[in-house]
C-alpha cells in the first residue's frame, strides 16, 4: 500500500507542523508530507517546512474577496498535490461548509481541550478560570460546526494548583505533539475511519494500545 499523502495547513509558529514532519520522517510511518500551506506569508512555520525539505505554498487569505474564493484556491492546490489527508495545525481560518463537506473524512484538526468542553479560543485561560482539574487535547475530524467533529483521539493532562494559562498550555502542547502523529498513523494505516458520526478503531488498536506507541527512528 502506498504511503498516505499528507498536507499540513498552519498560520503561525508551526509546532504541530514540526511534530508531524518529525513523525512522518520515521522509517515505519505510513505517510509522507507532500505539502505545507500557510495563509500568512510571514508565518514562522514556513521556515520549518523549508528546513525539512517539505514543499510549501502560501495562499494569503487577504488576496481573496470571500471565504469561498479562498477555499476554492486551497482546494485546487490540495487536489493538484493529490492529497489524501489534510491536517490543520494551528490554521486560524474558518473553512466554509462546502470545503469541509468536500473533504469529509479527510480533514483533521487538533484542539487544546478535551472536546466537547472548551470549544473556540482562549481555551487555557478559560480552563484555569473554570477550576477544572483535568485538561488535555483532542484530535478530531473537522465538521461544519467549529470544534465539533467526530473524535479520533484524546490525551489528558492534570491541571495543577500552581498552573497559569501559560504553564498549562505548555504541558498540553507536549501531549499534542504525541497525540497528533499517533492519530494520523491510525488513519494512514486504515485502523481508524470516519463512519457516520463516530470513529471506530480496528480491534488490534484497542488490544495493543497502539495509539500511544512512539514511532521508531529512521536509519
The answer to whether residue 111 is catalytic is yes
Buried b (16+ CB within 10 A) or exposed e, 105-118: ebbbbbbbbbbebb
Nearest Cα to Cα of residue 183 among 162, 201, 161 = 201
CA dist., res. 126 & res. 110, Å (int): 18
Laid out side by side, the sheet with 85-88 consists of 56-58, 31-38, 4-10, 85-88, 107-111, 134-141, 151-158
* Cβ contact 8:33 at 8 Å: yes
Q: Give me the phi and psi of 201, to 5 degrees please.
A: -100, 155
* Cβ contact 180:212 at 8 Å: no
Q: Give me the phi and psi of 139, to 5 degrees please.
A: -105, 130
Catalytic position from the list 79, 111, 122, 124: 111
- Cα four-point dihedral sign 2, 79, 187, 14: positive
Q: Give me the phi and psi of 6, to 5 degrees please.
A: -115, 135
Nearest Cα to Cα of residue 57 among 76, 71, 77 = 77
Residues catalogued as catalytic? 111
Amino acid at each position: 500500500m502506498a504511503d498516505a499523502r499528507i498536507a499540513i495547513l498552519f498560520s503561525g509558529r508551526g509546532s504541530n507542523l514540526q511534530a508531524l514532519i518529525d513523525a512522518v520522517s520515521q522509517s515505519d510511518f505510513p505517510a509522507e508530507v507532500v505539502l505545507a500551506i500557510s495563509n500568512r506569508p510571514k508565518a514562522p512555520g514556513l521556515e520549518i517546512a523549508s528546513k525539512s525539505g517539505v514543499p510549501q505554498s502560501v495562499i494569503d487569505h487577504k488576496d481573496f474577496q470571500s471565504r469561498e474564493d479562498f477555499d476554492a484556491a486551497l482546494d485546487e492546490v490540495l487536489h493538484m498535490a493529490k492529497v489524501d489527508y489534510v491536517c490543520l495545525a494551528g490554521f486560524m481560518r474558518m473553512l466554509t461548509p462546502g470545503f469541509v463537506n468536500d473533504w469529509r473524512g479527510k480533514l483533521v484538526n487538533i484542539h487544546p481541550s478535551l472536546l466537547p468542553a472548551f470549544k473556540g479560543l482562549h481555551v487555557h485561560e478559560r480552563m484555569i478560570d473554570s477550576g477544572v482539574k483535568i485538561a488535555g487535547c483532542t484530535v478530531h475530524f473537522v465538521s461544519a460546526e467549529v470544534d465539533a467533529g467526530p473524535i479520533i483521539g484524546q490525551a489528558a493532562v492534570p491541571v495543577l494548583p500552581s498552573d497559569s494559562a501559560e504553564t498549562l498550555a505548555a504541558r498540553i502542547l507536549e501531549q499534542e505533539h504525541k497525540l497528533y502523529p499517533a492519530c494520523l498513523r491510525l488513519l494512514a494505516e486504515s485502523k481508524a475511519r470516519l463512519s457516520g458520526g463516530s470513529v471506530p478503531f480496528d480491534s488490534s488498536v484497542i488490544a495493543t494500545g497502539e495509539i500511544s506507541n512512539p514511532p521508531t527512528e529512521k536509519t
